[in-house]
Amino acid sequence: MTIREFQEHIKQKYGARDAERGTPATYMWFIEEVGELASALGDFDQKNKEEEFADVFAWLCTLANINGVDLEKALHEKYLTDGGPKGYK
């Protein structure tokens, strides 16, 4: 499955509810999942880490969907075109 296919799957399954919720509330759900991932990273439970990574990615796709961002295209343009990003932060 490609990133675009997964993003479309999330859109088909949850898109109407996500659009109703809007960006601010969706961002809060995303941050909650990032917090759960942070906790999982400090543990030895590999399955939990995998689940939390998946949750973070799914909520990132949701944010992208309700903001009209094609993640696969954005990733390609930023990281795979002309050698990727310039410099480091």
For residue 86, being part of any structural domain is answered with no
Which CATH number fits the domain that encloses residue 70?
1.10.287.1080
Instruction: Give the count of domains, the chain.
Output: 1
Please give the helix or strand (H or E) that residue 84 lies within, else none: none
Could you tell me the pLDDT band of residue 87, with boundaries at 50, 70 and 90? low
- Domain assignment present for residue 88? The answer is no
Q: Which of 2-6, 8-12, 30-34, 81-85 has the lowest mean pLDDT?
A: 81-85
Structural domain contains residue 89: no
**Domain range for 56:** 3-80
Give the pLDDT mean for 1-6.
98
Task: Report pTM.
Answer: 0.90
Contact 75, 6 (CB under 8 A): no
Q: Give residue-wise pLDDT tens across range 14-66.
A: 999 999 999 999 999 999 999 999 999 999 999 999 999 999 999 999 999 99
| pLDDT recorded at residue 35 | 98
One-letter identity of residue 36: E
